[in-house]
Amino acid sequence: MEFDEYLRTRREIVEEELNNYFPETLFPETLVKSIRYSLLNSGKRIRPILMLAVADMFGTPYQTILPFACAVEMIHTYTLIHDDLPAMDNDDYRRGKLTNHKVFGDAIAILAGDALLTEAFRIMSEAALKNKFSSKKTLEVIYEISSGCGINGVVGGQVMDILSENKTIDLPTLQYIHTHKTGALIVAVVRAGAILSFATKRDLQRLTEYGKCLGLAFQIQDDILDVEGSFEKLGKKPGVDSAKKKNTYPSLVGMKESKEMLAQLMDKAYKVLLPYDEKAKYLRNFIFYLQNRQS
Amino acid sequence: MEFDEYLRTRREIVEEELNNYFPETLFPETLVKSIRYSLLNSGKRIRPILMLAVADMFGTPYQTILPFACAVEMIHTYTLIHDDLPAMDNDDYRRGKLTNHKVFGDAIAILAGDALLTEAFRIMSEAALKNKFSSKKTLEVIYEISSGCGINGVVGGQVMDILSENKTIDLPTLQYIHTHKTGALIVAVVRAGAILSFATKRDLQRLTEYGKCLGLAFQIQDDILDVEGSFEKLGKKPGVDSAKKKNTYPSLVGMKESKEMLAQLMDKAYKVLLPYDEKAKYLRNFIFYLQNRQS
């Protein structure tokens, strides 16, 4: 299967399952509408598909991984809803549509985020109990994902990001923000896919390295797109970061150096996959996909 | 041990452990300060102590339960921080102190809540993996707690509460709000204590009934205190609910009927514990403690 086809089919599987988790008939109606608005909003589904691709490499059936992949997309969506709030980044648009709080108000947006984060853990635990999948592996994945999203992960990164606005920070601080705000969840996603596939310690180490490179590269590319991208492709205004005096790689080390760092990370990610040869083809495709994306 | 003594010693154990989970040295500093401000703020610790008391009845060592008890207090604290936000209940005081967002700002308060919810799941999974406690039982508890806090639990209740402000609602809607906003987590706490003690299905059914009565009674008593309490004892202004035209039991069915309902629920909770005789003494004490509390 070509990578485009792989992305498309996997996205469909993920979106169908997400839709099943939050049917319109669920109560309370307003909350469910708000959740569906942001969750079923044509995202790229990079994180769940990445988890599926890792598991594919080990030959794990996607049905085993799907609830965990969906849980991660739910968590990712909660971070977007909360980040967009007026109290945080105060963004009006996301993926070309009004942000959640612009449509449902701040209170419901906060609660929709809270619900998505909470339900992610319900869905993971429920799936394992129902399908009699290894409780131990499931707990390990819950540990990975919660670690990647908490104080020492996404939330820690977002806090430092907010505290750094309108300040000039040094490169280590920017690196902290990026590795935590974006990188930690991507690393957790890759590790989760491996853990659920009963990967060896050695495999887990390699894939962790792959995830780290990919996660940081992803964010550097985001920073670059904020300078060079267009509204049509991004679905939001470019130049937002610099207008808010947010620290980015281009603003801190320059555009040329940023692109070089990006290339280096991509190269490192590529090399760490060499032992897996043809089996890692989709993971290898992910590297080029992220490097060439326009949104 | 007398019940007062039991509450005091258990509270100390819980607070010491919570303090260990979030030492001041943790990074990012501002986030940790905000978390510590609300988490180590002399709460009554009803939920964790209730979980410990259920486990005590089964003779389970408290060390096994403690991480789960702390996780539930963290989740409870996250709901308070988010509920107090200007976008939600807009409260300036909580337990006699300024609310989290009044001290740290809305962004950090939202993120402190997000972190507490996330870290609760990290702490539960980590404890089980480290202590080699049953992964299956741990997953069951994660399922119980996440179910009790999500769409069909605390968040669902809070959504309906917010949507009902300045509206007159009917008794079933008020009951929905109370059983979800407060009741669901208390039921989850009681069930978690039993599950972690490898309780039988029969015991689990009885304790679920106990938890349901206790949870609803707790909220009715809260409504009553908002009318009859004082600032000194409550640590916040009484009459806030009626000033906001919030629907409460006294406002909907009258004070006399509210007190009768409270008494009936207490009686039912008492009766369901009869088979456990002396072993349930602390759970029995909880009933009277909640009925007589002034804050």
Please spell the DSSP secondary structure of B160-214, one letter per residue. HHHHHTTS---HHHHHHHHIIIIIHHHHHHHHHHHHTTT--HHHHHHHHHHHHHH
Domains in chain A: boundaries: 3-290
**Res A136: pLDDT:** 98
**Res A227: pLDDT:** 87
What is the chain A residue with the closest CA to B157? A28
Does the pLDDT of residue B277 top 90, yes or no?
yes
As a dihedral over the C-alpha atoms of residue A157, residue A162, residue A166, residue A167, rounded to 10 degrees, the angle is: -40
Which residue did the predictor score with more confidence, A231 or A96? A96
What is the chain A residue with the closest CA to B127? A143
Does the pLDDT of residue B242 top 70, yes or no?
no
**Res B243: pLDDT:** 65
Q: What's the angle, vertex CA B215, arms to CA B211 and CA B221, rounded to 5?
A: 140
Q: What is the pLDDT of residues A97-113, one digit of tens each?
A: 999 999 999 999 999 99
Contacts of B159 in chain A (CB under 8 A): 28, 30-31, 108, 111
**Res A290: pLDDT:** 85
Contact B85, A113 (CB under 8 A): no
Cβ burial of A104 (10 Å; 0-12, 13-18, 19+) is buried
B121 Cα to chain A: minimum distance (Å): 6
Confidence of residue B240 (pLDDT cuts 50, 70, 90): low
Please spell the DSSP secondary structure of A160-224, one letter per residue. HHHHTTTS---HHHHHHHHIIIIIHHHHHHHHHHHHTTT--HHHHHHHHHHHHHHHHHHHHHHHH
- Give start and end residues of each alpha helix (H) in chain A: 3-21, 29-39, 46-57, 62-84, 100-104, 106-131, 135-149, 154-163, 171-178, 184-195, 201-228, 231-234, 240-243, 249-253, 255-272, 281-292
Q: Which of A283, A140, A291, A142 is closest to A207 using CA atoms? A: A283
Q: What is the pLDDT of residues A40-56, one digit of tens each?
A: 977 999 999 999 999 99
Q: Which of B212, B236, B216 is closest to B226 using CA atoms? A: B236
Q: Hey, are the CB atoms on B111 and A151 less than 8 Å from each other? A: no
Does the pLDDT of residue A12 top 90, yes or no?
yes
CA distance B83 to A116: 17
CA distance A26 to B56: 37
Confidence of residue A2 (pLDDT cuts 50, 70, 90): very high
Q: What is the pLDDT of residues B52-66, one digit of tens each?
A: 999 999 999 999 999
pTM of structure:
0.95
The helix (run of H) or strand (run of E) holding residue B93 is strand B93-94
3.40.50.720, 1.10.600.10, 2.40.30.30, 1.20.1250.20: CATH of B3-292: 1.10.600.10
Stretch A143-162: mean pLDDT: 97
Q: What is the pLDDT of residues A66-125, one digit of tens each?
A: 999 999 999 999 999 999 999 999 999 998 899 999 999 999 999 999 999 999 999 999
Among A26, A68, A78, A121, the residue to mutate for chain B (most B Cβ within 10 A) = A121
The helix (run of H) or strand (run of E) holding residue B84 is helix B62-84
CA distance B153 to B155: 6
Say how far residue B43 (Cα) sits from the centre of its chain.
10
Q: Which tokens sit at A198?
A: 């009963």
**Res B209: pLDDT:** 98
**Res A187: pLDDT:** 98
What homologous superfamily does CATH list for A3-290?
Farnesyl Diphosphate Synthase (1.10.600.10)
Among A72, A100, A139, A165, the residue to mutate for chain B (most B Cβ within 10 A) = A139
Does the pLDDT of residue A37 top 70, yes or no?
yes
CA distance B145 to B197: 16
**Res A257: pLDDT:** 95
